[in-house]
Structure 1
Amino acid sequence: MLYRRHNSSRWWVRFTTPDGREIRQSAGTTDKKAAEEYEARLKQDLWRQARLGERPRHTWQEAVVRWVEETSGKASHADDLSHLRWLDPHLCGHQLEEIDRERIDALQRSRKNEGASSATCNRTLALLRAILRRAEREWGWLDRAPHVRMLSEPRRRVRWITRDEADRLVRELPEHLADMARFTLATGLREANVTGLEWSQVDLVRRVAWIHPDQAKARRAIGVSLNNDAVLVLRRWIGRHPTRVFAFRRRGSSDWRPIGKAGGAAWRKALQRAGITDFRWHDLRHTWASWHVQAGTPLHALQEMGGWSSFAMVQRYAHLSPEHLAEHAARIETKARVVPHIQRHTGKKEGQ
C-alpha cells in the first residue's frame, strides 16, 4: 500500500514479501504514479530474489544509512551529512545500479547551477564516489561503481600575513580572541583544537600540550611543543575556567563560558579595522607554517608539528624557503666572480 507520513509530502510503500518480511520505506517521490511504479518494481525485485535467488538490489537510502553508521567517527562527519542532505532529493528512491555516469553528470550540473564553486561540487561528488566504491568493494552491493569525473579547481596561493600585520590584527581583537590568535600563531593548532583545549591536555612544567586522536582531523594524536609565546598566553588564563583553557565572559557577568567559534563577527570587524582582507581564522595556521618554513624548519618536522597526514600537505609551503636549492643552482653558474657594481671614473682610457 502507499501512504504519506505526517508532515511529509513524499509517498511511502508498505507491504509483506512472500517470505514474510515487512517492507516499509520511502518511494522518494511526491508523485503518486511514480511511487506506484517504484512499489511495483520493488515487489518484482524482491520476488526474483526470493524465487530465483538473484542478488538483492539496494537503494541509495540503504547505502546512506550504512555509510553514516560506519563513518560516524570521521572528522568530516558533519560535512558528509550536509552533502548527503543535498543529494537526498536527487537520489532518494533510486537503486544503486541506476546511479550511472549520466545521472552523476546531471548532479554535477545541478550543483553548479545553484552557484556552488567547483571545490564544493567536488566535495559532494567525492562523497558520492566514496559511497559507491564502498558498495562495490566492501559491501558487494554493486558489480562496478561508475566513474565520477571531478571538476578542475583553481589552485589558490597560501594566504599568510607578516609579523607586523599579525601584531596589528591582535591589537584589534578582544582579549580572548587576541590570546587565542597568539596561541594559534605559536602552535599552528586548528580552530576547533584551540577553542576546545582543556587544562587536562596541558603540562606547563614540561611545556607540552596534546590533541587526542578523536579531536584531530587526521584522527592521529598530536604532540604540541609549547614555545615561550604559547606558555605566556596559557599562564594568563589559569584559574578562569575549571576545564577549558580559553573562555569568554560577557560584560557585567562573572561567569566564564566556553568558546564555540573564534572566527565570528568580532574577528571580521578586527580584520577590517586592521586593514587586512581575504583572511580567515584558519589562515593563522597557514601563517604559522609559513613563518616556520621561512625560518628554516624542515618540512618533515613541520608535518609532525602540524599533524598533517601526508607530506603533500606540507609541500605547499616549500616555495617559501628555496635556500636548500642554492647548492644545486650553483652547479651551472659561470666561473666569473661576483663583485659589487661600482661605477668609477678614473680618467684613464681603456687599455691604459
Structure 2
Amino acid sequence: MVDRQKLSEKVLRDAEPAEGRDYQIFDTEVRGFAVCIYRGGGRAFTLDYRYAGRQRRMTFARWPEWGVTAARERAKALRREIDAGGDPLATRDAKREAPRVSDLVKRYVDMHLPHLAALNAADQRSMMEKFIDPTWGTMLVTEISSYDVELLLNNVAEGRARPSKQKPNNRARKLKGAKPTPVRANRVGEVVRKMFAYAVKWGWRDDNPATGFRRRMETPRERYLSHEEIACLATALDAAEDDRAAGIIRLCMLTGARVGEVRQARFEDFNLEHLSWTKPATTTKQRRVHRVPISDEAAAIVRQRRLAVIKGSPWLFPGDVPSQPLLEVRRFWARIQKEVGIEDVRIHDLRHTFASLLVSGGASLEMIGKLLGHSQMQTTQRYAHLMDSPLRAGVDAVASAFKPKPRLVHDADRPAATASPLSRTGLRFGAKHLTVSGS
C-alpha cells in the first residue's frame, strides 16, 4: 500500500527509518513527488514518472538542505518538463557526462600539439597549465561564453607580479610590480580559439566563443643592426674562441635562418654545388620543408665545419652530448653583446637585419617571405615600412613636376634702354622678383 500524505517539515521529522529497507512517502499535491526515508536515517526528495513506457525515479534534493516548500516547487517544474515530453533524468545524466574544459585541454594536447614544433608546443602547453585549465577546467565546454573569454584575456593582459616566488631574494625584485602582457593575451586568445574550433569539429558544442576576440595592440620589436655594428660583430666573431657558437651566429646573419634551424643543421641538408640549403620539416617553424639558396660565404662556413667536425657526425655544430647538436648559445651571445656594445640586440634580430638588407638591395616582399620561410604574407608585411626610400623618390618626382619652373623676365625698375643685358634680366618665381646685377 502506497503511503500518501501532504508532505511537511513535521512529517519528515517524525518519519522513522524502517529496519533493513528504504521507503517513500508520496505527496498528495504533486503527482510522483515523494520523500525517501533511508534505512540509515537520511531523507531525500524524489520524483517518480514514466517516460517512453519506462518507469523512472529521479532524486533531486536532500533534506534538510532543501525545505519541503522549495522541493515541491522544484518537483512542479520537473513535472512541467515531463508533460512537455522531456526526460529530466536523462538530461541530468547527459550533463554529468558532458565534456568539461579539462577534457578539451587534454584532447587538444593529444591531438594537436604533436604536430607543432617543440618550442611552440611547449609554449601552448604552458598557456593551458597557467591560464586556461585553472580558470575553466571544471566548467562544461558548452558553458564557456564570449564573455568568459574576454574576462580570461583581460586577466592575462594585466600580467602578474615578477618574480612569482613568495620570497624574492632581493629588494629590487621584491618591489617589482605586475607588468602588463597584452601580447601574451593575444597568444592565449589564439590558442583558445583553436581549442574551441576543435570542440566544434568534435561535436562538443555548436559555436566558437573565441571567434573575433578583442585583440590588444601590439608594437612589433624593430631592431636592425647598422653597417658599423655588423662590421664590429663580424670582427668579434672572428676573434671568438668558440668556433661552433661563432659559426651559428654567422649563419644566422648570412641566411636569415632561425637559431634553432641553424643549431640542428646537418651536412646532408646542404648542396654546395648548387649553393642551397634544404631545411627538413622537423626543424622549421612552419613544419614544412624549406629550401633556400645560400651565399658563397655561407657555403665556406659549411666547408670549414666539415674539416673541424669529427668524421661520422651528421651535425654541422655537434654538441657536448654525443649524437646531439649544440643545445644553446645564449651565454656566448651575452659575451658578444657586451663586447660589441649591442646589449639590446637579440639573436632573432639578426633575422630582421637580414630582411632589412634584402629590402635595401631591392628585394620584393614576396622574395623576402620565401627566403625567411614565412607561411603567411601578413608576417612579411612587417618589413614593408623599410621600402619607404623608393616610395619617397616617387612622391618627390611628383612634387618636382608640380613645382613652378623659373622664367626670365625684364627688370621693371629700370628703363630697358639704359640697362645692361645682365641688369635687364631677373628670375621670377611666382610673385617673387629676384634681380641679377652685373659689373
After TM superposition, the score normalised by the length of structure 1 is: 0.74
Q: How does 1:64-143 map to 2 (within 5 A)?
A: 64-71=105-112, 72-75=114-117, 76-86=120-130, 87-111=132-156, 112-114=158-160, 115=178, 117-136=181-200, 138-143=201-206
Q: Unaligned stretches of 5+ in structure 2?
A: 1-86, 161-177, 407-421, 424-433
Structure 1: stretches of 5+ with no match in the other structure: 1-44, 339-346
Q: What are the superposed Cα offsets for residues 206-240 of structure 1, whole Å, 9 maximum, x if unpaired?
A: 21111122322122221121101101111110040
Q: In the superposition, relative to structure 1, how do residues 337 and 320 fare at CA in structure 2: closer, same or farther (>3 Å)?
A: farther
> Equivalent residue for 1:243?
314
Q: 1:175 offset after TM fit, Å?
A: 2.3
**C-alpha deviation, 1:168, in angstroms:** 1.8
Deviations 1:185-222 (A, max 9, x none): 11111111000001111111221111122322122221
1:144 to 207, 210, 223: 207
Q: Secondary structure at the match of 1:214?
A: coil
Could you say which residue in structure 2 is the equivalent of 1:204? 272
Q: Distance in 1 between matches of 2:111 and 2:380?
A: 29
1:283 offset after TM fit, Å?
0.8
Q: State the SS of the aligned residue for 2:306.
A: coil
Contact 1:182 / 1:229 at 8 angstroms: preserved in 2?
Answer: no
**Does structure 1 retain, via aligned residues, the 8 Å contact 2:154–2:185?**
no
| 1:119 Cα deviation after fit | 0.7
Q: Distance in 2 between matches of 1:283 and 1:306?
A: 13
RMSD: 3.0
Amino acid aligned to 2:251: F
Secondary structure, counterpart of 2:115 in structure 1 = coil
Specify the alignment match of 2:380 in structure 1: 314
1:250-307 Cα distance to aligned partner (Å, 9 max, x none)? 9xxxx89621123x12211220221113211111111111111111112211111111
Structure 1 runs, 4 residues or longer, greater than 4 Å off: 53-56, 335-338
Cα distance, 1:224–1:351 mapped onto 2, change above 3 Å:
closer
Match of 2:397 among 308, 330, 334: 330
Are 1:285 and 2:351 matched, yes or no? Answer: yes
**Aligned residue type for 2:141:** L
Task: Tell me the residue number matched to 1:213.
Answer: 281
Does 184-193 or 212-221 show the bigger shift? 212-221
What is the alpha-carbon distance in structure 2 between the residues aligned to residue 337 and residue 183 of structure 1?
A: 53
Q: Greater shift after overlay, 177-186 or 213-222? A: 213-222
- Structure 1 equivalent of residue 99 of structure 2: 58
Whether the 8 Å CA contact 2:267–2:302 is kept in 1: the answer is no
d(CA) in 2 for partners of 1:248, 1:306? 26
Q: Secondary structure at the match of 1:247?
A: coil
Alignment check: 8 A CA contact 2:281 2:287 kept:
yes
Structure 2 residue 421 is matched with structure 1 residue 350: no
Kindly tell me: are residues 336 and 184 of structure 1, through their superposed partners in 2, closer, same or farther at Cα, counting changes over 3 Å?
A: farther
State how far apart, in whole Å, the 2-side matches of 1:289 and 1:78 are: 28
> Which whole-Å CA distance do the structure 1 matches of 2:100 and 2:320 have between them?
50
Q: Does structure 2 conserve the Cα–Cα contact (< 8 Å) formed by 1:289 and 1:302?
A: yes
Amino acid aligned to 1:142? R
Residue of structure 1 in register with 2:76 after alignment? none
User: Could you tell which deviates more after superposition, 143-152 or 122-131?
Assistant: 143-152
Q: Which amino acid aligns with 1:226?
A: I
* Secondary structure, aligned partner of 1:269: helix
**Would the alpha carbon gap of residues 275 and 304 (structure 1) be closer, same or farther in structure 2, given more than 3 Å must change?**
same
Do the aligned residues in 1 keep the contact of 2:265 with 2:317 (CA within 8 Å)?
yes
C-alpha separation between the residues in 2 aligned to 1:256 and 1:175? 19
Is the contact between residue 132 and residue 145 of structure 1 (CA under 8 Å) also seen in structure 2? Answer: yes
The Cα shift of 1:245 comes to 0.4
Q: Distance in 2 between matches of 1:318 and 1:151?
A: 22
SS at match of 2:282: helix
> What displacement does 1:335 show?
4.6
Shift of 1:151: 4.3
**Structure 2: how far apart are the matches of 1:271 and 1:288?**
18
- Alignment of 1:187 with 2:267, yes or no, is no
Flag the structure with larger Rg. 2
